[in-house]
Amino acid sequence: MTAKSFQLFVDRLSKRLQEPLPGRSAQALMAPKPISDKRFEEDPNNPARPGGVMVLLYPENGEIYLTLTKRPVYTGAHSGQVSFPGGKVEKMDRDIIHTALRETEEEIGVANSAIQVIGQLSELFIIASNFKVYPTVGILKERPHLVPDPREVTQVLTPSLTELRDLERRSTKTMHFPPYTIESPYFDVEGEVVWGATAMIISELIHIVDEIY
């Protein structure tokens, strides 16, 4: 992929993100089963906390890549899972985009000034942690020099869009969360199981990419 063709991709994606998004229909393709409308709806008596994540895309060797992080093992709902760089909204954040930019710099060392924000994907409610996540789509001109924060990131994964669009790299896994058992679709990324909200966000991204690319 040349610089010109990557810019064409960015222009098309930017334009598409300003139009109505596929949202739930695309997210649901990678949602754990059984699934119901409650999966997407927060409890009005217990409002979800807002969080921002960064869907960071960059070109290298003719391909387009995105950046994912693996969390360390800790006492919490998302221990050891793969996610996008991001986190909860803090008081100093100007808006949800600033949250995503700030967290990206803190977690993997990519400076805010290097990222071109071109739009957002659909929000997604996360039941396990009662968060409502707002994904921001950011662009880098080249592969970044990543500096993971060891307190928050144990590994950085960089799958290409080609890999993520490959149906052979998707499967389903039975997961047990007593008293519940779910069948969760997932992406196999560098041997890691990428499932749940992260997989659902990727699903919407891929749906849009398939429209324009």
Domain parsing of the chain, residue ranges: 3-212
Picking from 53, 2, 69, the residue whose alpha carbon sits closest to that of residue 205 is 53
pLDDT at 88: 93
pLDDT at 131: 87
Q: 79: pLDDT confidence band, cut at 50, 70 and 90?
A: low
The arithmetic mean of pLDDT across residues 74-83, rounded, is 68
Q: Give the contacts of 61 (CB within 8 A, at least 6 positions apart).
A: none
- Please classify residue 94 by burial: count the beta carbons closer than 10 Å to its beta carbon, then call 0-12 exposed, 13-18 middle and 19+ buried: exposed
The CATH number for 3-212, chosen from 3.30.2270.10, 3.20.20.210, 3.90.79.10, 3.90.1150.10, is: 3.90.79.10
* pLDDT greater at residue 53 or residue 35: 53
CA-to-CA separations, 211 to 18, 67, 101, 183, 206, in angstroms, rounded: 14, 21, 27, 28, 9
pLDDT digits (tens, 9 = 90+) for 123-156: 999 887 788 999 999 999 999 999 999 999 999 9
188: three-class secondary structure by DSSP: strand
Q: 74: pLDDT confidence band, cut at 50, 70 and 90?
A: low
155: three-class secondary structure by DSSP: strand
